[in-house]
């Protein structure tokens, strides 16, 4: 059975498996890291009529790029939450950031209906700038405009 990338899932039993099948795959964390490394270090692009090797970042258009970016940002977000819990305590974080549970991320775009003062800092995100894209009661996220009315979006 040949599986597409959409068919591979991580089970509650901590095993990689093919969707619609209970056949476990032999994917350890080391093998996943090796696969990502091969993909990132072999990112060739056609530019100016020449084939070039991209040496920085993850290539846009590469089938593996969204997954690699999601893994990277999921690790950063997990580290951010763990640091906040260590610094402020679990109860404070739960009470203060409870509404942050409605956030959504698509690769490197974060949708979080919270005041800008409660967003993670650039330091938390390896120097990446958090750009706030709202004006008044309107929010634009990956090209979709949402409006707030009272307490509802």
The answer to whether position 95 is within a domain reads yes
pLDDT tens per residue across span 25-52: 666 778 778 887 888 888 888 888 999 8
Consecutive H or E run containing 138: strand 138-141
pLDDT at 2 over 60: no
Dist. CA 153–CA 142, nearest whole Å: 16
Q: What is the reported pLDDT for 20?
A: 59
Q: What is the reported pLDDT for 5?
A: 42
DSSP string, 46-74: EETTEEEE--SS--TT-TTHHHHHHHHHH
List the domain range (segments joined by +) for residue 69.
Answer: 63-147
pLDDT tens per residue across span 81-118: 788 888 888 888 777 665 555 666 666 666 666 666 66
pLDDT at 3 over 50: no
The answer to whether position 35 is within a domain reads no
- Contact of 119 with 129, CB cutoff 8 Å: no
- Contact of 103 with 110, CB cutoff 8 Å: yes
The answer to whether position 84 is within a domain reads yes
Q: What is the reported pLDDT for 129?
A: 66
As beta bridge partners, residue 35 has: none
pLDDT tens per residue across span 117-141: 666 666 666 666 666 666 566 766 6
The answer to whether position 55 is within a domain reads no
The answer to whether position 121 is within a domain reads yes
pLDDT tens per residue across span 64-86: 777 777 777 777 777 877 888 88
**Which CA distances in Å does 140 have to 2, 131, 135?**
39, 11, 9
The answer to whether position 4 is within a domain reads no
Structural domain count, the chain? 1
The answer to whether position 39 is within a domain reads no
The answer to whether position 140 is within a domain reads yes
- Contact of 80 with 124, CB cutoff 8 Å: yes
């Amino acid at each position: 059975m040949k599986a597409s990338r959409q068919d591979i899932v991580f089970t509650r039993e901590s095993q990689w498996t093919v969707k619609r099948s209970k056949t476990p795959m032999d994917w350890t964390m080391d093998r996943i890291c090796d696969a990502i490394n091969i993909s990132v270090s072999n990112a060739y692009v056609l530019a100016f009529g020449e084939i070039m090797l991209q040496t920085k970042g993850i290539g846009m258009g590469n089938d593996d790029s969204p997954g690699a970016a999601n893994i990277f940002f999921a690790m950063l977000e997990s580290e951010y939450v763990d640091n906040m819990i260590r610094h402020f305590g679990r109860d404070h974080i739960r009470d203060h950031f409870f509404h942050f549970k409605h956030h959504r991320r698509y690769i490197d775009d974060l949708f979080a209906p919270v005041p800008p003062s409660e967003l993670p800092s650039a330091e938390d995100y390896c120097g990446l700038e958090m750009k706030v894209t709202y004006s008044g009661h309107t929010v634009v996220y990956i090209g979709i405009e949402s409006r707030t009315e009272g307490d509802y979006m």
